[in-house]
Amino acid sequence: MTAAMAGKAAITVTPNENGFGAAITGLDLSKPLAPNVLTEVKDAWARHSVVWFPDQPLTHDELEAFTLQIGPFGVDPFIKPMEGRPHILELRREPDEKARNFGAGWHSDWSFQETPPAATILHSKVVPPVGGDTLYADCYRAYDALSDEMKRVLGTLTAIHSAALPYGTDGIFAHEKEKRTMEIVVSKEAEKTFPHPLVRTHPVTGRKALFVSPVYTLGIEGMKREESAAILGYLYTHMTKDEFVYRHKWHENMLTMWDNRCTLHYADGGYDGHLRVMHRTTVAGERPV
């Protein structure tokens, strides 16, 4: 009788001490997961928000197939996908690149969309010998730590999201002078805005999380610029305090999946002179409420 048939855990989940982030071992992601194993993976992901699977060499087909077991693909704008693979982005930085590494700012992926992605899946192909960590901030615990009155006030607010700052025609990438291997497509489309509740309720866990970021949040609906800036500035400092942040170290062939509905992430640099190659897919999400 297998462990799963006996009602025992089919996988091994090893969480970080504070419960934010967990390693999952005991499975092979190159093959379709049995329904009970997939349920355990999804449960662990819901509990720990960021999960990683070491030693998972995957082909493009296998990465896509694993993604589709979590949910349908999300829509990835403003970055040219891999040739013949419309749902895989290659995050590639060559040893001679001097441009700021992609993702070097706290954000939740594509939060300016009406239905931002639930998950992002990142698979490491080439990991530099130094640097290249990804930082994750736990937006549940950051919310939980606020006073009741602050929670009450924030719970009434709507934040305005947009891709203008990085991808707009007057944005960061539009003005970039340094060579970049990744092909970024700046566009007027990036300047559209979309409102989302500043505090969102996770559709699976029912927990509340702060849902704003310095990369994609332009302001708070109905407030003056300096009023929004004061509140958002406070929140960004609060959300990214050490106590809420997990620093993720990569090894080759590691697959990491994070929940954009309750985390922010930041791609740390520190690997100039070295190649870093990652393959990324997203899983469609729902409209934040």
Residues that bind ligand SIN (CB under 6 A): 91, 102-103, 120, 122, 134, 265, 267, 278, 280
Query: Which residue's CB is nearer to ligand SIN, number 111 or number 120?
Result: 120
- Give residue number: closest CB to ligand SIN: 103
Maximal C-alpha separation, the chain: 64
Active site residues: 107, 109, 265, 280
Q: What minimum distance in Å lies between the beta carbon of 89 and ligand SIN?
A: 8
**123 and 266 in contact (C-beta within 8 Å)?**
no
Query: Which residue's CB is nearer to ligand SIN, number 143 or number 271?
Result: 271
Q: Which residues make Cβ contacts (< 8 Å) with residue 278, sequence separation at least 6? A: 90, 91, 92, 122, 123, 124, 125
**105 and 214 in contact (C-beta within 8 Å)?**
yes
Q: Which residues make Cβ contacts (< 8 Å) with residue 165, sequence separation at least 6? A: 171, 172, 215, 216, 218
The strand pair at 50-53 and 22-25 is best described as parallel
Burial class of residue 98 (count of CB atoms within 10 Å of its CB; 0-12, 13-18, 19+): exposed
Q: What minimum distance in Å lies between the beta carbon of 114 and ligand SIN?
A: 20
Shortest CA distance to 138 belongs to which of 238, 50, 244? 244
Q: What minimum distance in Å lies between the beta carbon of 255 and ligand SIN?
A: 13
Query: Which residue's CB is nearer to ligand SIN, number 202 or number 276?
Result: 276
Query: Which residue's CB is nearer to ligand SIN, number 179 or number 247?
Result: 247
Burial class of residue 73 (count of CB atoms within 10 Å of its CB; 0-12, 13-18, 19+): middle
